[in-house]
Chains A and B, each alone.
Chain A
Amino acid sequence: MSSYPTVFRIFSPTDMSYGGDELSAREVDFLEEEINGTSDQSAQRYPHEPWIAAPFRYPIPVGTQFQSRLVPAGSTIRCFYAADTARTCAYESAYHFMRFRLASHTSAFSQSYSKKMLGSVKLDLQDCADIKVEDPERLEKSDYSLFHNWSISNKTRRTAQYASLRDPSRKGYCYGVFRIERLSQRSEGIWPLYLTMDPSADQAMRYRSDFAHDLPEQVRFSDVR
């Protein structure tokens, strides 16, 4: 029997709408196609809302030096990541946001907010695999080898769930969705939120949202890395 929980993902609001006031919709379409190598056929194949379809629609030809939790370096596996609560989603995203900002050796970044969107979508958990980590306390958060071994050895994978290693409560769950059919085509809800590095702490960031609740206000890099 299947269950259909609502899951959450943070994404950039401008991901699918490159351009500006100077460009018409037709020009933006043309430039998107040129830059991404996608076409209308691809849009027809994925009738889902753009933020849901993005990880499947846009090939990310990452080099061998990059990897993600369930996708080994150099792999062509496409995966939509989500979490069971907005809070767990926020902790997971905070790590990647800070990791990216701190890799740049500059203090010149403005303190203005990076606007993101928190989206929620229904997920079909039929045949969902549960990846167990025997001893989460001893597992390096950035050691993805256990997860990669699972992805490589499970060719018929559809969905996987695993305990979030970055949510300090240790109660959150993450999902890796390999088949877009497992996701509803429409959002349950989308809320704007804002991320910024915390000016009062060296390696910490803040979330602010007028609409999404239950987000951690401040996240320290040491808590999530």
Chain B
Amino acid sequence: MTIVAQQRQELSDKEKKQAICKLMLQILEILFDQNNAKLALHLGLSRSVIGKWIRAGECGYNVSQKERDNDYQKFLVLASIHRSLYSIFTNPKDRAIWFYASNSDFHGASPSDLVKSGILGAVTVKQYLDYQRGLGV
């Protein structure tokens, strides 16, 4: 008997944009209390852009572009933070509590403050969570 490994069919660009939008909605619910303005502030986008994407059911990022724009890169960093928190905290409320609490590992700033400060701050939080998940035996 020959076993042929089946590869999952790749998503179309439209499906990719829809998947990103679904993820954005999850992040909006867990970290931003359904508040488009708060999410927009953390991504450095206007509130109307977020609202427009959600109404359309797909994001406006160019997902097939190799050189991704900064906005999309920052969204991916925020998505990675959300993913790590999903992995670390069983209770969804704890993910938001951690995100907004002052943290001694960030010299008293909150992870939210760092993400709002720009891409470098967001990457610092992402790396910190990657590090936390990789530590320990």
Interface pair B136/A23, CB less than 8 Å apart: no
B113 at the interface (CB under 8 A from A): no
Q: Nearest-CB distance from A164 to chain B (Å)? A: 8
19 contacts between A and B (CB under 8 A): A10-B136, A12-B87, A18-B87, A22-B25, A26-B8, A27-B22, A31-B20, A31-B23, A35-B76, A60-B131, A62-B127, A66-B128, A68-B134, A68-B135, A81-B137, A103-B104, A103-B105, A106-B101, A110-B94
Which residues of chain B come closer than 8 Å to A96, judged between CB atoms?
132, 135-136
- Chain B residues within 8 Å of chain A by Cβ, number: 46
Question: A66 to B133, alpha carbons, bound, how many Å?
Answer: 12
Interface size on A, residues (CB 8 A): 52
Among residues 66 to 118 in chain A, which have CB atoms less than 8 Å away from a CB atom of chain B? Answer: 66, 68, 81-83, 88-89, 92-93, 95-97, 100, 103-106, 108-110, 112-115
**B108 contact set on A, CB distance < 8 A:** 105
Residue of A nearest to B123 (CB): A63
Binding site for A on B (CB under 8 A): 7-11, 15-16, 18-20, 22-23, 25-26, 63, 76, 79-80, 83, 86-91, 93-94, 97-98, 101-105, 108, 124, 127-128, 130-137
| A178 within 8 A of partner (CB) | no
* Centre residue among B10, B15, B20, B90 by max chain A CB count within 10 A: B90
* In the bound complex, CA of A10 to CA of B87 (Å): 13
